[in-house]
Structure 1
Amino acid sequence: MILYPAIDLKDGRCVRLLRGDMAAATVFAAAPADQARQFADAGFEWLHLVDLNGAFAGRPVNGDAVEAILAAVSLPVQLGGGIRDLSTIDFWLDRGVRRVILGTAAVTDPDLVRTACQRHPGCIVVGIDARDGMVAVEGWARTSEVRALDLALRFEDAGVAAIVYTDIDRDGALGGVNVEATADLAFALTTPVIASGGVASLADLRSLKAVEKTGVEGVICGRALYDGRLDPAAALKLLAEPV
């Protein structure tokens, strides 16, 4: 199971939000590229980047910070936030981003997801951010009438590389992962699922590791890594163990 350290970008800095609230941002690094280097030095295999401003604006905003990260490390990067058309997908994949994450676009323009998957095989991830099981869009500012599972099932035959499933109510709150909902989603799909939201300890990772065979391929972690609750070496060792 892959552990993805999260670098959430707001106004050019690395921050963590509480349940998606832009007004509740804690700044952890003024230079995101330096943070990326620290994660690379710690032994992580991937980086998970989110352009928070972009998610609200509907277009990339923190492009300079993303490019600085790409220049600073050789780790593969997956990027989400404000990516809602084919030209932006092409732009970031051409710049060296390994995978782009489509969230709002997956709800509002499912044909874009399918076209992007055909054009860039293995490079498209669908981000499903759920509040009480319903998909939230536009930087979590609006909750749709689409169920998380229904949205995921729409793309089962599209060639999506993975589904990032975020429980919004747990994101940044250090309250534990919604293991049951994540495992249920993964079990219902053939597409691999990446868990997100609420990781606070090795116990959370151990609980996810226990359901790895349902199709949970990885887990994203932010605040617990930044504030020292989660030791990178111990976390990586745990997730590398055979099931």
Structure 2
Amino acid sequence: MILYPAIDLKDGACVRLLRGDMEAATVFGEDPAAQAQSFVAAGCEWLHLVDLNGAFEGRPVNAAAVESILAAVDVPAQLGGGIRDMATIEAWLDRGLARVILGTVAVENPDLVREAARAFPGKVAVGLDARNGRVATRGWATETDMQVTDLAKSFEDAGVAAIIYTDIDRDGAMQGPNVAATAALARAVEMPVIASGGVSSMDDLLALRDTGVIAGAISGRALYDGALDLSQAIAALG
């Protein structure tokens, strides 16, 4: 199971939100590139980047910060937030991103997900963010009636590289991930599923790994707070 350290970007800084609330942001650093280098020095295989402003505005906002990260490190990075058309997908992949994450458009324009996955094999992931099993979009501000598992299954034949599942109520709350729901989703689909939201301790990581069906886990606040040591976590998972 791969551990993805998260760098969430708001107004050019590294932050963490509490349950997706932009007003509940804690700033952990003003230099995203330096933070990325720190994670790479600790041994990470991937980086998980989120343009939080972009998720709300529907267009890339923290491009300069993302580009500074891509220039500073040589591990693959995936990015979500505000990526809602083919031109933006192409532009980010051209700039060196290994994978784009499509969230809102997976609900609002699923054909775009299919088109992008065909055009860029292995480079398109779907981000499914949920409260109580129902998908939320537009920076988690809009809740839908769509079930996570149903939406994931609809992309089963699309060539999507991974599903990133976030339990919004766990995100940034340091209360542990929703292991059961994530594992259930992973068992329901053939695509790799990456867990996000609430991963705050070694026990959390081992619980996800020990399901035997979860391909990766994303952690942010726990790494910044020191509740989780990245080097130790990677060694334990390896």
TM-score (norm: length of structure 1): 0.97
Can you give the 5+ residue segments of structure 2 that lack an aligned partner in the other structure?
none
Alignment-mate amino acid for residue 233 of structure 2: A
Displacement, 1:85?
A: 0.1
Distance 2:64 2:167 in 1: 29
Alignment-mate amino acid for residue 91 of structure 2: F
Alignment-mate amino acid for residue 221 of structure 2: R
Q: 1:158 aligned to 2:158?
A: yes
SS of residue in 1 equivalent to 2:140: coil
User: Hey, what does 1:194 align to over in structure 2?
Assistant: 194
Structure 1 segments, 4+ long, off by >6 Å, are none
Displacement, 1:234?
A: 1.5
Displacement, 1:142?
A: 0.7
Alignment-mate amino acid for residue 237 of structure 1: A
User: Hey, what does 2:142 align to over in structure 1?
Assistant: 142
SS of residue in 1 equivalent to 2:4: strand
User: Hey, what does 2:56 align to over in structure 1?
Assistant: 56
TM-score (norm: length of structure 2): 0.99
The C-alpha deviation readout for 1:113-168, integer Å capped at 9, x for no partner, is 00001100000000000001000000000101111001100100000000000000
> Which residue of 207, 211, 224 corresponds with 1:226?
224
The C-alpha deviation readout for 1:163-215, integer Å capped at 9, x for no partner, is 00000000000001100000000001000000000011111011011112x2x
User: Hey, what does 1:43 align to over in structure 2?
Assistant: 43
Q: What is the 5 A alignment of 1:109-128? A: 109-128=109-128
Q: CA RMSD in A?
A: 0.5
Distance 1:37 1:233 in 2: 13
Distance 1:97 1:61 in 2: 16
Q: 1:239 aligned to 2:231?
A: no
Q: 1:81 aligned to 2:81?
A: yes
SS of residue in 2 equivalent to 1:40: helix
User: Hey, what does 1:67 align to over in structure 2?
Assistant: 67
Can you give the 5+ residue segments of structure 1 that lack an aligned partner in the other structure?
none
The C-alpha deviation readout for 1:61-97, integer Å capped at 9, x for no partner, is 0000000000010110000000000000000000000
Distance 1:232 1:77 in 2: 17
Alignment-mate amino acid for residue 165 of structure 1: Y
